[in-house]
A = this chain, B = another copy of it.
Amino acid sequence: MKIALAQLDYHIGNFAENTASIVLAIEKARQMDAELVVFSELSVCGYPPLDLLERKEFVQNCLDEIQKIAKVCDTIAAIIGGPSFNTASEGKMLFNSAFFLYGGEIMQVVNKSLLPTYDIFDEYRYFEPNRIFNIVKFKDLKIALTICEDLWDDQPVEMDFARGRLYTRHPLEELSKSDPDIVINIAASPFSHTRKEIKRGIFTKKAKKHHLPVLYVNQVGAQTQLIFEGGSMAVDKDGKIISQLDYFSPEIKLIDTSELDGHKSPVNIIEPSRIEMVHNALVTGIKGYFSKMNFSSAVLGLSGGIDSAITLVLAARALGSDNVHALLLPSGFSSSHSVTDSEKLAKKLGVSYDIIGIEEIFKLFNKQLSPIFKDREWDVTEENIQSRIRSVLLMAYSNKLGHILLNTSNKSEAAVGYGTLYGDMSGGLAVLGDVYKTDVYELADFINEEEEIIPLNIITKPPSAELRPDQKDSDSLPEYEVLDKVLEEYIEHQKSVHEISLLGFDEALVSRIIRLVNMNEYKRYQTPPILRISSKAFGGGRRIPIVAKY
């Protein structure tokens, strides 16, 4: 049987647009002679709809759209994801469902059994888990239809204090009893630079274990913080990947089930490097945020440092150079190369820029505050005032001209609170907020691989906030090579101070770093949404009580 895998980019709640692209994909699949076309999890509304699922009219809209889509599925069948009502009198009100559409109607509804409720996932908030296992029979094909996590009952873990068997049910074991011919998995599986191989392993392992081919359809594109890489695939019954769809790009691809019996050679895929995947994820993240918010242009403060330089490049690649604007906001503490390096980069990219010095405003703030502050010494207050003046100017520029402010802070800074609330922590979207500083440098090398796009001086100068004379990041922080490793062990791997010190770091230093992380929860609570590229980003997937003492 010819089955089309439809890897599309959905917009949460934009029913008109989602249905239009689904219907268009069905028509394309029909032209490709497909008998069945498979869409991803909750495709009718886009994933994750979050608390919109608590609104009856939202769920009803989903069901209405599925009925419309069913009408198009006359001689071609489709599998589409959407919520459905739990008609039992007890339990959560909804199921996370796969609708099998054929002959102009909904032929069968299969519900998700394993509901991820960890990190950025909150599915048990809305859905009742399925406990009844039926396969779908379509023509001569018996399909074990599963939804994302249903195949993740035994997943590899990235932390010591974690387990792979989070559920007491095992959907594929149950479905196997009905002797299916193929496994179809509709998913909404977000990108993390550490999980590409893990995902591939899930499908190839299941295929091998059950001697069943697996078709996996993921969504693509970004929904605020979450980026979906696509990478849908067909795995044959021996566990070989015989076809894979694009990363970060919508695609419809035809699979012939006759190719899944093991005789075909695995597809020869040149996998992008980790840093290329991160680069492309961030560009996708910016693009998705702007297109879905109906924004077209961005502004950012270009400091002469590496973070704003990288953000500018990524923004220009996502939105086009004409749609990105830079503001250079030097103070009396800015080095001369801050402006010249920034100008060089902006010119290289063809990005327009303006320069506003903040010295005069800074002096006036100090003057107005002096009757209260009297003779108190210069401290972080004055550093923050400069950072906040820049934010006022950037937001004024944004408000007046309609360009959205991009935040340029990196994950290392965000972790230790090396940033000013309402100052450099401002913005509509934090592009690098999940990228450690050492990875920011790797991104710079990747961008400059073939040509010097980012002036070398920006990459080689010692990092500095330039908020007081001769300031360097290394005055108050350890070298980023050390800092980032400690942070990753604490944040991503959830190791304790003692466990981290056993990896060869000075325990007092680790303790000081972790204390900074813990005491800055309050700052991170108010940061812009952060594009997530790791297995543990700051934001909704990491929930730490602000008042906690730990």
Chain B, Cβ-Cβ closest to A540 = B543
Number of interface residues of A (CB under 8 A): 93
- Contacts A368-B361, A545-B223, A547-B288 hold; do A89 and B165 have CB atoms under 8 A apart? yes
Query: A399: which of B223, B384, B396 is its contact (CB, 8 Å)?
Result: B384
The contact string, 1 if C-beta is below 8 Å from chain B, for chain A 389-415, is 101110111011000000000000000
Q: Is A503 located at the chain interface by the 8 A CB criterion?
A: no
Q: Is A422 located at the chain interface by the 8 A CB criterion?
A: yes
The contact string, 1 if C-beta is below 8 Å from chain B, for chain A 178-201, is 000000000000000000000000
- Contacts A369-B356, A391-B388, A543-B540 hold; do A166 and B526 have CB atoms under 8 A apart? no
Q: Is A549 located at the chain interface by the 8 A CB criterion?
A: yes
The contact string, 1 if C-beta is below 8 Å from chain B, for chain A 121-149, is 01011000000000000000000000000
- Contacts A92-B166, A388-B392 hold; do A528 and B529 have CB atoms under 8 A apart? no
Chain B residues within 8 Å of A441, by CB? none
Chain B residues within 8 Å of A57, by CB? 496, 498
Nearest-Cβ distance from residue A318 to partner chain B, whole angstroms: 14
Structural contact, A369 and B388, CB atoms closer than 8 A: no
Nearest-Cβ distance from residue A424 to partner chain B, whole angstroms: 11
The 9 closest A-B pairs by CB, nearest first: A13-B550, A56-B161, A292-B547, A381-B399, A422-B422, A14-B549, A12-B548, A57-B496, A13-B548
List residues of chain A with CB under 8 Å of any chain B CB.
11-14, 17, 46, 48-52, 54-58, 88-93, 117-118, 122, 124-125, 160-163, 165-168, 222-224, 288-289, 292-293, 354, 356-357, 360-361, 364-365, 368-369, 371-373, 376, 379-381, 384-385, 388-389, 391-393, 395-397, 399-400, 421-422, 426, 428, 494, 496, 498, 522, 525-529, 540, 542-550
